[in-house]
Structure 1
Amino acid sequence: MNGARQAGRGPDAVCAALALAVLALLIGVSIWLWQGQRRPLLLAPAIGGLNPCLDMTAPAPAPAPGAPPPEAACAGAQGSAAGQVESILSALGPRHSPDGRLLVGYTLVVPLLNLFRPDAAAAGGWRIDDEAVQRVARTVQGVDRPVVLYLFSSHFSEGAPIEPVLASDPANLAQTPRGPLPVDRYMGQPMYPWSVARLDNGITQRRDEAMRAVSGALCRLPAATRARLAGINLLGETHQLYPAFETGMGTDQPYVVTDYSPTSRAGFAAALRQRFGTVAALNRYLGSSFADFDAVQPPSRDIRRQRLDNFWQHIDDAAAGRVAVSGWVHDGAQPVGRSSWVRIYLDGQWVGRVPARFERQDVAQARPELGTSRLGWRYDLRFADLPPGRHRLDVALEGAGGGLQHLGTRHINVMGREQRPPVALPMRLDLPPMRPAGARVAFWIDAPADERALFYNPLVPLWDEFRARQVVRYLEHFDRLLAATCLADVPRRTQQIYPAEKAGWDASRFAAGQSLLPFGQVQLGINLYGEATDDASFFDWLARSRQPGYSVTEFHPLRALSAAELGAVFEDHRRHGARTLSFFLHPVAPGEAPANPFAFDPHNPRFGSDRLYAATQALLR
């Protein structure tokens, strides 16, 4: 009997230990969640206008109101931009909001390519300006606030003398099937289509060199100073490119993407070999008859406009098997601030329901009487599994007074590889009762074009995946570089574009999706504009992507908000795990045009930026 009792004590002890372990875990999680709720959100505005101070080769402008003269602040053995930074932040408000939920630091933008000076004696004819690097380090040392270091070097021009030199080398440029992209323009400034396909080209080597110089200077600062570093943003928006960058991101544009360099073509064949093992397995997957992997070329031609040697060369915005159904609608009968809902029917069967909530600045400019720009809607219809033939799409508005209002009909022709003329398919179901759109309803269906031909090429999703992996691989390179320095423990993050939730954007052109997911030691840093700043759709996406935390690296609602409204947005991000939130601060002299139209400033009325500045001041004071 005693032996039986003692034998039973073992399982009891184990159960007790497990219970204690679970209790300890729950307590730990509770403390972590409690601390997360208590953690303040670091407002880290990106201070603009510092380049003339950090880069003394540029002409010094007139100082911002209240700021010390640039020459006096920047020149000399201890020159830095610290005085200007502190002056601009002090004008915004105190370091802490009264409720303790907001803490004010700053983002120091360091344009990497601006650190180079021509020098005939240096390797490649350029050298790092050590004094400019020291001014960066002294700025960090001179401002006693948390700082996010933005190591900026994206396709947006920095105005650096080395840029046109680097752009003259095709190895540095993203390539379409016809060759390197030309230098483009964005908001009137040069836009350089730097490649993300190679790590051995000149642009990558110069970024490496500048990043090592900056990290080296910071590593020589006292440990207490380095402890102010709250994060490091890698490069800025990093993704694949395409022609006409400013206007060519839509599904209605000719589909020309990157990268088709020899490096990418060879890399794609290698990726297919690694995934499928044998060309026979690839052929079974595609339904193709390639002799070997080297015979497989990235899809690069539009079957509707170009002659193909084989079907697997076809690519367009829908070739991956989905087509955008999109437009805009305004129902004057809806209460102000409430989104309308749109239903999509395929061959009479209801397949989707989406809110009209996306920003449409084009509609707001053309129809200001509607009083809002949140009118866009979009549904991505998967057609890859549909039978070939002519299908019918119907779009209906859920009216404010009940019932459905018919907005329009489109026909899509799902084509087989043999390109036989499509046959009209019967309706699956009868459409529900609908009445014509009422007089108070304004709307437009942007896509798809009526009678559009759709061709699914299963090689295209593999190509899209490879292009997205190129973006991640490029960012991983710089993550590893910093991980080998004394800054290894400083959180590193992307500063990435968010194309997935834009009504008219074709996210496949950017191939940024994989870089928005966790990889390596890099955390999510994401640029949010318009509806994405304060819409539940972003937090839904955040939950689906399982992010352990994030930072809002660029923030602008594109409309004025009151202090209460802006405070609620900040609080939403804080409670969802945002570590930092950055917006642009670039002082504007009275009567002058803003250098950055998205900068919060009392003298910048663009996109409600003056009122957003006032709202931030009110929250801090």
Structure 2
Amino acid sequence: MSHCAPACRLSLLTLATSALVGLSAWGWLKVIPASDRHAAPQRPVAVSENPAQSVAIPALAERAQPMYLLLTVEGLDYCPENDTSDALKADLVRQNFDNAAHLQHLLESIEPGGAQGKIQAGYVITTKLLSLFKPESDGQGWTFDAGGFACQLRLVEKLDRPVALYLSSTHFDTQGPLPQKLSQEAANLALFPDLKPATLSYFSYPIVPYTLQTDGAIAVNHYKRQALAHIHQMVQALAPEHRRKIVAIFLGGETHQFYQGFEDGMGEFAQPVVTDYSPASQQQFRAWLAQRYDSIDALNQAWGSALPSFDAIAAPAGNFRAQPQTPLLAHYDGYAQGSVPVHGWFWDASGTTEALRVYLDGQYIGPAQWGLNRLDVYRAVEDIATPAVGFRMNLPFDRLPAGRHMVSITHAQGAYECLMDERVIEVLRPAPAAGADAPLDFSDKHRVFTSMRDKPLRCPQRAKAGKRYYLDSPAWDMKVAFNPAARDWNLFRQAQVRAYMQQLYDWAVEMGYDASLLFSHQIVPELNSSWNENLFATQGSVAADTPWKPGFNLYGAGAWSPWTQDFLQRLAPQEGGYGIPEFHPQQWKDARSARAAIAHHYNAGAHFLSPYYFSIIPPQYLQDPTSNAVARMRLEAGNSADGSNVFYEAIREYARQ
């Protein structure tokens, strides 16, 4: 880390999605006029509204409790008791940097006179659990070092403002001697198929893929639990009037599976490499399958296999693209679960398009989900007014016969329907008599499929006007194969993520943490139309049936969009029942967007939004906003990058109501 990189350091320690979402192009951006191309259909999901419709700012509804704007602030941990091996921290300590005074000044500039009214300004204290340990004097163990967290807790005593505690225990908790030690031991890690301990990176910052195994005896889990217990004791030692200021606790951080190419590989479908193939995880997978299927005969019937026992099962880790002789049951890629993502982007300047329709072999399947995040398109095309132009349908192919099939997508408005594009996919299976243990049959299986070009669609020229779009996936003549073992592997990996979140929650409740304050701090990949959500496997960890309250990060179009509305309806949270631990609309073309997003979340019952991010570091240490994707999101009046100044003013406006 360079001496002048505090903003980058903060972001990488406290979130994994801001820059990910901010840079979520994945693939080459293609902008093609409607007149130059035809299109293919998209997967069936009702469209809540046309993203091109004008932004309306709703009036604030009546609600019993305030909504909190809990600012993520760089510099809160810079104090004498904390580790001063970092050059910037050492500089600030020598200058008697007073984080409490600077934070108070910032909060007063946002909401003068203290927290009051419908929307109240506060802040987030971020603490990395594993980094709170130091080696014992004899070098034989580790001791919890309370100094750094005690420094931050003093903010709670000094400031009469609402505060959230972010107890981070994720792959970004890599600084300090204990994380470095833990990262060298395979038992602490989620492993890729080569079973070698791996250290990944995110914009040059090292990350460690810690295990999602829930065994408390594993060293990394042991120390996380110890840190949670010590922190609870320190919080309980606060006077009651100070403890009451704590309005939320973010538990765990972004808990998910890992994949190679962590920085920019979130859209990899063809040859993804994922976790966790460790011996413990493989054994857990076999036990999970035994519970799911009851008997090996039932599994063999479901898989079309002839396995002698559950002990004979290995998680799929091969790929026919790299090794054509890979047996079907060993094949794993982003399509092997039995669906093809039909995704791209669509912009209608008139705002009159009602649906994007997906067809398979000429038969209507349903509407694509529309309004997903495509910040890359928003940045690249000046006259596209919103990043909510992504569309997607996960089109099932698991029951299709082998051979070529046509996928088509249209845009529809009233009685008019126009073809956008269409692509051929080729479904592969083993030879009919071979069974699922055999390699795939690549012999030509020509099918006479139906193109929508042969359909009598009503598409006058006026119905095409003002439409811009591109179909990114599937690629033409893309080969796909359904492997039931890969489908179950993905479901199991989702279960691992949820089980680990459950373990953290159970530990916290057993220790005495207030369960009503416990929120997840999750990433929701489905927000981005081009991402492979199975790389992360978080689908079950932000849901209506979790004991913890749903907390999930929103950037770009996700700040408020048709997708966000649909997601909240599925979560069905009560007032105060959800929160946004990281929040930045990243929109500047319409100043109303940020204000509308804040108002909509207030009316939807959000307990808090945590705007990302502010800084109390002296200006001479700050990076130029144009220098990297994280600095672009620094919230201040003079930073127009990513609409940060627009969002800054919206925060001030609502905090003063």
Which category describes the TM-score, using the shorter chain as reference length? Answer: 0.7 to 0.9
1:593 to 618, 624, 648: 624
- What is the CA–CA distance in structure 2 between the aligned matches of 1:412 and 1:148, rounded to whole Å? 49
1:353 to 346, 363, 367: 367
Q: Provide the residue aligned with 1:49 in structure 2.
A: 75
- What is the CA–CA distance in structure 2 between the aligned matches of 1:234 and 1:223, rounded to whole Å? 22
| Contact residue 325 and residue 379 of structure 1 kept, 8 A | yes
Which runs of no fewer than 5 residues in structure 1 stay unpaired?
A: 1-33, 75-80
Matched, 1:392 2:406: yes
- Report 1:149-228 matches (<5 A): 149-156=165-172, 159-180=175-196, 182-199=198-215, 200-228=217-245
| Contact residue 363 and residue 373 of structure 1 kept, 8 A | yes
| Contact residue 257 and residue 536 of structure 2 kept, 8 A | yes
| Contact residue 389 and residue 425 of structure 1 kept, 8 A | no
2:256 to 239, 247, 256: 239
The Cα of 1:264 is off from its aligned counterpart by 0.6
Matched, 1:569 2:597: yes
- Report 1:83-482 matches (<5 A): 83-94=101-112, 100-121=117-138, 123-124=140-141, 126-156=142-172, 159-180=175-196, 182-199=198-215, 200-306=217-323, 310-331=327-348, 334-335=349-350, 341-354=355-368, 356-368=370-382, 370=384, 372-398=386-412, 403-418=416-431, 419=441, 421-427=444-450, 431-433=455-457, 441-482=467-508
Matched, 1:609 2:644: yes
Q: Can you list the C-alpha shifts for 1:532-555, whole angstroms capped at 9, x where unaligned?
A: 111132121222234442111111
- What is the CA–CA distance in structure 2 between the aligned matches of 1:211 and 1:218, rounded to whole Å? 11
Flag the 1:580–1:358 CA change in 2: closer, same or farther, 3 A.
same
**Please, which moves more after superposition, 563-572 or 459-468?**
563-572
| Contact residue 563 and residue 618 of structure 1 kept, 8 A | no
Flag the 1:413–1:485 CA change in 2: closer, same or farther, 3 A.
same
| Contact residue 378 and residue 503 of structure 1 kept, 8 A | yes
Flag the 1:158–1:519 CA change in 2: closer, same or farther, 3 A.
farther
Q: Provide the residue aligned with 1:22 in structure 2.
A: none
The residue type paired with residue 338 of structure 2 is G
Q: Can you list the C-alpha shifts for 1:166-212, whole angstroms capped at 9, x where unaligned?
A: 22222222211112463222233222222213533332222222222
- What is the CA–CA distance in structure 2 between the aligned matches of 1:356 and 1:432, rounded to whole Å? 25
| Contact residue 75 and residue 615 of structure 2 kept, 8 A | yes
| Contact residue 114 and residue 161 of structure 2 kept, 8 A | no
Give the TM-score taking structure 1 as reference length.
0.84
Indicate the SS of the match to 2:275. coil
The residue type paired with residue 496 of structure 2 is Q
| Contact residue 230 and residue 490 of structure 1 kept, 8 A | no
Q: Provide the residue aligned with 1:558 in structure 2.
A: 586
Q: Can you list the C-alpha shifts for 1:217-265, whole angstroms capped at 9, x where unaligned?
A: 1111222322222121112100001001121111445221111100110
- What is the CA–CA distance in structure 1 between the aligned matches of 2:143 and 2:160, rounded to whole Å? 31
- What is the CA–CA distance in structure 2 between the aligned matches of 1:431 and 1:181, rounded to whole Å? 54
Which runs of no fewer than 5 residues in structure 2 stay unpaired?
A: 1-59, 432-440
Give the TM-score taking structure 2 as reference length.
0.80
Q: Can you list the C-alpha shifts for 1:7-42, whole angstroms capped at 9, x where unaligned?
A: xxxxxxxxxxxxxxxxxxxxxxxxxxx998232111
1:508 to 513, 516, 534: 534
**Please, which moves more after superposition, 595-604 or 172-181?**
595-604
Indicate the SS of the match to 1:82. helix
Indicate the SS of the match to 1:300. coil
Indicate the SS of the match to 2:552. strand
- What is the CA–CA distance in structure 2 between the aligned matches of 1:161 and 1:95, rounded to whole Å? 42
The residue type paired with residue 306 of structure 2 is S
- What is the CA–CA distance in structure 2 between the aligned matches of 1:426 and 1:239, rounded to whole Å? 40
- What is the CA–CA distance in structure 1 between the aligned matches of 2:466 and 2:589, rounded to whole Å? 27
**Please, which moves more after superposition, 239-248 or 413-422?**
413-422
Structure 1 vs Structure 2 CA RMSD? 3.1
| Contact residue 349 and residue 428 of structure 1 kept, 8 A | no
Q: How many residue pairs were aligned?
A: 573
The Cα of 1:318 is off from its aligned counterpart by 1.0
Flag the 1:228–1:381 CA change in 2: closer, same or farther, 3 A.
same
| Contact residue 583 and residue 599 of structure 1 kept, 8 A | no
- What is the CA–CA distance in structure 1 between the aligned matches of 2:500 and 2:514, rounded to whole Å? 18
| Contact residue 174 and residue 194 of structure 1 kept, 8 A | yes
Indicate the SS of the match to 1:288. coil
2:608 to 577, 580, 598: 580
Among all aligned residue pairs of Structure 1 and Structure 2, give the percentage whose two residues are the same amino acid: 29
Indicate the SS of the match to 2:608. strand
Q: Can you list the C-alpha shifts for 1:335-390, whole angstroms capped at 9, x where unaligned?
A: 3x777843222111222323653332333444446565443221211111223321
The residue type paired with residue 112 of structure 2 is P
| Contact residue 359 and residue 376 of structure 1 kept, 8 A | yes
| Contact residue 525 and residue 551 of structure 1 kept, 8 A | yes
Flag the 1:185–1:265 CA change in 2: closer, same or farther, 3 A.
same
- What is the CA–CA distance in structure 2 between the aligned matches of 1:214 and 1:580, rounded to whole Å? 22
The residue type paired with residue 100 of structure 2 is A
| Contact residue 149 and residue 233 of structure 1 kept, 8 A | yes
| Contact residue 554 and residue 580 of structure 2 kept, 8 A | yes
Q: Radius of gyration: which is bigger?
A: 1
**Please, which moves more after superposition, 383-392 or 424-433?**
424-433
Flag the 1:554–1:432 CA change in 2: closer, same or farther, 3 A.
farther
- What is the CA–CA distance in structure 1 between the aligned matches of 2:226 and 2:303, rounded to whole Å? 43
- What is the CA–CA distance in structure 1 between the aligned matches of 2:120 and 2:609, rounded to whole Å? 10
**Please, which moves more after superposition, 581-590 or 528-537?**
581-590
- What is the CA–CA distance in structure 1 between the aligned matches of 2:516 and 2:465, rounded to whole Å? 57
- What is the CA–CA distance in structure 2 between the aligned matches of 1:593 and 1:210, rounded to whole Å? 36
Indicate the SS of the match to 2:526. coil
Higher-RCO chain (CA-CA 8 Å, sequence separation at least 6): 2
- Report 1:8-23 matches (<5 A): none
Q: Provide the residue aligned with 1:12 in structure 2.
A: none
The Cα of 1:519 is off from its aligned counterpart by 5.4
Q: Provide the residue aligned with 1:488 in structure 2.
A: 514
- What is the CA–CA distance in structure 2 between the aligned matches of 1:546 and 1:237, rounded to whole Å? 22
Indicate the SS of the match to 1:391. strand
- What is the CA–CA distance in structure 2 between the aligned matches of 1:474 and 1:356, rounded to whole Å? 32
Flag the 1:304–1:500 CA change in 2: closer, same or farther, 3 A.
same
Q: Provide the residue aligned with 2:40 in structure 1.
A: none
